[in-house]
Chains A and B, each alone.
Chain A
Amino acid sequence: MTTAILALEDGSVFEGRSFGAPTERSGEVVFNTALTGYQEVFTDPSYSGQIVILTNPQIGNYGTSSADNEANGPYIEGLVVREFSPIASNWRSDADADAFLTRAGIPIVSDLDTRALVRHLRTRGVMRGVLSGVETDGQKLVEKARSIPTMAGLDLASRVSTRQSYQWTETVQQCSPSDLIGPQAEPRYNVVAYDFGIKHNILRRLVHSGCRVTVVPALTSAEDVLALKPDGIFLSNGPGDPEPLVTQVGNIRKLIGRKPIFGICLGNQLLGLALGGKTYKLKFGHRGANHPVRNELTGRVEITSHNHGFAVDPDSLKLSEVEITHINLNDQTLEGFRHRGEPVFCVQYHPEAAPGPHDSHYLFDDFTRLMREAK
């Protein structure tokens, strides 16, 4: 058994069993409480720059399946689990989780007390850390953790974004003959999707709702976007702090009022900034698939998938211009808002799920409705 070490900037050192790539990676250490969907977490570009702790103690059980990737490969910096399965047991699996992450050069530390670690981060807040399968001196790793840049102020979105624009055509696929995904809508709307680290399931859901999607790089100008004659513009999720994304915010500001806009996660934060609001860093973020969000327009509660470390401060928004549409019932944070005068809306959480409950798929149809009304 080879060991791996997770060292945190506050001096805590956790030792466990090494899986994955025998290497060393650093990043912000965060935790996710979802019970299913580890592969979607591995491959979500929003986890770029982060070492992820999964609170579900049994990881790797069902292997990985290329159909479940949220990007072309894993984006997490490292993985921390309580127990890692040496075998993959599921008919859809085409690689076991160990091979999947090893191939991508991602280290895993297993067999450590993830609960203690989560309680530590819950009280102290998320922090920087190093996960190493090569270095055995915990103190050296603590020093390294202290030397890496903090997440605040970091523009990771531009780093993970596509270099070139492309068309996306894949729609939602059944995962089994019994999967009820519903009929696909006729493709009626041209949507330009800003890629700040976009998840594939967002693209699949847009296509499923009747969109022809063109994905563009994060720094594409507003003019270039409008030149594509879109019916609507989509602002994607993505990693890191929204505040340094000044150019992107500037572009978005120019697009408000021109075309219907739908934003998810980072897209929500950027819209908040574009509308004059402020964002702030949450102590330990929201990462999981069980968050209750109340739709203030209907009163209905949706169980939602979350992955964000920053949020929009509702007090910073001009309520004459912006209407709050979604509230998190756990901590009353802002989960969604819309423009009172323009066809612009966004949510902080992940209606495309993957992983997570499908309660909020309706938002994609809301987007196509806005585009229909604007036509």
Chain B
Amino acid sequence: MPRRNDLHRILIIGSGPIIIGQACEFDYSGTQAAKALRADGYEVILVNSNPATIMTDPDLADKTYVEPLTLPYLEEIIRRERPDALLSTVGGQTALNLSVELAEAGVLDRYAVELIGAKIDAIKKAEDRLLFKDAMRKIGLETPQSQLVNSITAGLAFADRIGYPCILRASFTMGGTGGGIAYNKEELVEILERGLSLSPVHEVLIEESALGWKEYELEVMRDLADNCIIVCSIENFDPMGVHTGDSITVAPAQTLTDREYQMMRDGALRCLREIGVDTGGSNVQFAINPANGRMVIIEMNPRVSRSSALASKATGFPIAKIAAKLAVGYRLDEIRNDITRKTPACFEPTIDYVVVKIPKWAFEKFPGADTTLGTQMKSVGEVMAIGRTFKAAMWKGIRSLETGKAFGSEKYDKSLLANKLITPTPDRLNYIRFAMANGYSVADIHEMTSIDPWFLQQMKEVVDLEGELAKTTLAAATSQQFRTAKRFGISDSQLAKTWGAGEIEVRNRRKQLGVKAVFSRVDTCAAEFESFTPYLYSNYESACEADPGTGKKVMILGSGPNRIGQGIEFDYCCCHASFSLQEMGVESIMVNCNPETVSTDYDTSDRLYFEPLTLENVLNIVDTEKPDGVIVQFGGQTPLNLALPLKRLGVPIIGTDPADIDLAEDRKQFGNLLDQLKIPCPANGTATSVEEACAVAARIGYPVLVRPSYVLGGRAMVIAYDEEMVRQYMREAVTFSQDRPVLVDRFLDDATEVDVDALGDGTDVLIAGIMEHIEEAGVHSGDSSCVLPPQSLSEDALRTIEDYTVRLAKALRVVGLMNVQYAIQNGVVYVLEVNPRASRTVPYVSKATGVALPNIAAGLMWGRKLKDYGFTSGKLTVPQVFVKSPVFPFNKFHGVDPVLGPEMRSTGEVMGVGTNFGEAFLKAQISAGSPLPEKGTVFISVNDHHKAEAVAVAKRFAELGFSLTATRGTATALRGAGLVCRTVLKVNEGRPNVVDLLKGGSIQLAIYTTAGASAFADEKSIRRSAVTYRVPCITTMSGARAAAEGVAARLRDPIRVWSLQEIHERKTVA
């Protein structure tokens, strides 16, 4: 069955913004699918609202739409493009749900679009819990006892029957949203209430608990001829009860006999056949009772998933690429294995190493959030580590996490031990090590955690060795001890810490003793066949298979695990650096440890090192490859932290000098530079003590912005309105600042913030984008919506910004990318900060201007000039209006106040495209999951400072046909301006109050501003209710004005879409 020739145009739907539970793994799968289909001669039409993705690069598809992933916009795209088929299985749950919606609304039939990958019946059977259960029973597979409920009463009745604890899962949500574990009636009611409201079909499954059982996943592929293979088995280190996305997972499965594994394999194949997944990849989850081997099937996803990305990276088998080929008719035995070249893709990969995935959480961003891990996924990213053994992989994984804390320096509280072992939280892994070091046996820990004793035994062997090593010294340690330590995965920095020596000292001694890292290949076949793909990981075995090339080569340091403030945007930049190098005939070498990314695809770069981004691991690669250049400015803060140490050791960093990057971060030096350039910045100072901070604040005047140096994403950044806040902050912030001082800046009230991305080649400076923030200064730039081109800046201000940007770039000798943040207050332009590196906005500006900035930047770093790309100094223009909006994870962290501030909390972003600001903003809001209403009631409550602006906004909404509701003070102001308005009680005033109205559905939009930092319980409960009941909640006046524009556009403009290709048909330079 060769490729289908009746299909010509194929629509691929992406997964939208990065959110918890759906991250850049779907950029990886969508990109692979698009590449595979185009390579086969199909025309690809791609839709994704997320501009930070590689898949939305105009080069990857014939038509690329950055448009909302909703029915009306998809229908318009289908109407325009008339695809023959829709591939629904590579864009996560979002694409799958949207495909079902399109089918059910008759859109696919109307335009004769065939659903390929998974048919509608198969999707429903897999996704509908009741149908799934029946299907499994039919083929003899057990499922946990369960029942779907639509009400609290029904839920309580069923829970009484099966007993507590029980598991709750909301239907048609992803990443476990709206689910949880209920240990008693009270919790059941709480979780059920939330789950019912979050489920689009108002339905929750209550299920018998298999807590503590062993949990497994199989990645399965099937073709139209019913050939089935298992790509990878994955065993969860954390047993049942913790969402797979929040579990440490291990591939291949470690504690199953062949009989048990084959039983599971048989079950998975039966499941796929019964559900009717014709082609492509699916994953099937099982639980096994460790006491008697009883196996239940938990769920299956009839699509490429997060685990598929992991399995692909873990084995070298490109699931999404193959899935796309199978969807257009190929059989597995007709597709070649890229890595061995000689053997077909129809086989089951076997591996001779162990892979460990560890999730990364961001609870420090969400004070008040419950850190207990359960059925709802809470992690924001993950790392994968490859080691020859589980021990090596686990320890490598731990150091890939970049916790910011040296290994062994974590603080433990002995009194919390039992609790920390029994209740799963992000700390559990460390507490297991701590418990072991304190004499807890494997059996003790197994009893408290239910983690399989084999895993615990492995960890114990490392902990025991750590204890042994502590008894010796750097000088006395033998080569055998070094060798064992390295083979167990212990890092040089940990040894340095143990022995009170420097990391480089340890490294040198180790190498002197002949203990050196070598690299093995990920080859899908445990070395049975030759591998032609340099996909490598380090270990301390006897033979090195790196086989480095002899031509010119450049190494790109990636950005590591996704976290808030450092995510897919940087992966976009790293991938482009690689493409750019390849275009210039330079070999590209990628280093990264994030399995979700496009950068860790073995065919993105010439060579891939799947390694932690630590000094030790990077130096090992440098020793082996001897690159002509190393790029550190594309991976966010992670590689930048390595820049100076690498430079000191003679590693050739290309692009802007690390010393200049550092200068921009150094408050004193940078202050001097601004003085010289006569560029104003807010009054500021630095402090290394509480008293010093208070003194600086008093000198420059309140409010002040305080933050540590060298962080991304506004980690631990606050606006302090008085001395007490500064004191409190300093007490909490010192742990973050370590030897770096705390920065204290005058905070500019009510200023407009502006972000600028520019390219420099040492001579010319090209201003790529001047982005006006929609929220006022004070909201972290990553959390603020922004617009290209700027809407309200004066010509004067723009000229000043351009002038400053060019002078700053020249002064900092920028070669590559630079980002500058400005604030404009009362007509004065202030520089807030300069970062001579890729910023989070680079992909957005690239999509809006049609110029792939990092691609050019990498060229400049390799010695090309802007002239070579047809640019001179000047600035890029955009042909339409592009709004970027953030997406927040507040629905995953109940109890957390969803207010915006200087600490970044968004996980992802979307872009809206329009012919006017309102239209672009509206689309961005739709894509961000907070669609603006077209009618109904607007609730307004603002502080005195904003009353005048509130009147103007209210007037606009009234003109658009909305009713107004306001709290007493605001209502008075509105009525005073002649507006009709209903008064509603504040929460602390009695009932019914505004929260009751929100819950009752009588408010469609909430506008709320707060005075200063005092977050009253009242305001918080309004914001929380708005999140829970999905009412858009706007907390700034500029945001409110933008919302009014958006609503106006919704009422005025038709549904319109543009492909990036048509938008950028003519590229212009002003």
Contacts and interface: CB of A to CB of B under 8 A. Distances in A.
Given A292-B333, A303-B229, A357-B262, A115 B541 contact: yes
Given A91-B291, A118-B528, A122-B528, A175 B352 contact: no
Given A116-B543, A301-B227, A176 B294 contact: yes
Contact of B390 (A37, A58, A179, A356): A58
B541 A113 contact: yes
B352 A330 contact: no
A292 B257 contact: no
B983 to A, nearest CB: 63
Nearest to A182: B140
Interface string B575-590: 0000000000000000
A89 B262 CA distance: 18
B333 A301 contact: yes
Interface stretch (A61-69, A186-194, A338-346): A61-69
Interface in A79-133: 82-83, 85-87, 89-92, 111, 113-116, 118-119, 122
B347 to A, nearest CB: 4
Contact of B254 (A55, A61, A115, A331): A61
A202 interface: no
Contact of A175 (B260, B270, B487): B260
A61 B454 contact: yes
A122 B292 CA distance: 41
Contacts of B296: 178
A297 interface: no
Contacts of A180: 140-141, 263, 266-267, 270
Given A57-B354, A85-B457, A115-B541, A292 B346 contact: yes
B453 A89 contact: yes
B101 interface: no
B348 A357 contact: yes
Contacts of A301: 225, 227, 331-333, 346
Given A86-B457, A113-B541, A299 B225 contact: yes
Contacts of B270: 180
A354 B262 CA distance: 9
B543 A115 contact: yes
A55 B347 CA distance: 17
Interface string B246-263: 000000111111111111
A34 interface: yes
A58 B141 CA distance: 30
B352 A57 contact: yes
A57 B344 contact: no
Interface in A287-306: 288-292, 294, 299-301, 303
Nearest to A178: B295
A357 B346 CA distance: 14
A35 B351 contact: yes
Interface string B261-291: 1110111001000000000000000001011
B520 interface: yes
Contact of A292 (B342, B347, B529): B347
A118 B265 contact: no
B350 A89 contact: no
Interface string B291-320: 111111000000000000000000000000
Interface residues of A, number: 60
B607 interface: no
B257 to A, nearest CB: 5
Contacts of B527: 55, 115, 118-119, 122
A358 interface: yes
Contact of B256 (A62, A85, A294): A62
A290 B347 contact: yes
A151 interface: no
Contacts of B257: 36-37, 39, 62, 65, 68, 90, 92, 175
B701 interface: no
B262 A353 contact: yes
A195 interface: no
A185 interface: no
A358 B263 CA distance: 9
A68 B454 contact: no
A294 B333 contact: yes
A155 B313 CA distance: 45
B349 interface: yes
B1052 to A, nearest CB: 58
B142 interface: yes
A290 B343 contact: no
B434 interface: no
Contacts of B252: 35, 56
A294 B389 CA distance: 34
Contacts of B348: 289-290, 303, 357
Given A58-B254, A62-B454, 6 more contacts: A33-B350, A90-B255, A178-B142, A180-B267, A292-B333, A300-B227
5 contacts: A40-B258, A56-B351, A61-B255, A180-B266, A290-B349
Q: Which 5 A-B pairs have the closest CB atoms?
A: A176-B293, A37-B258, A355-B258, A175-B259, A55-B526
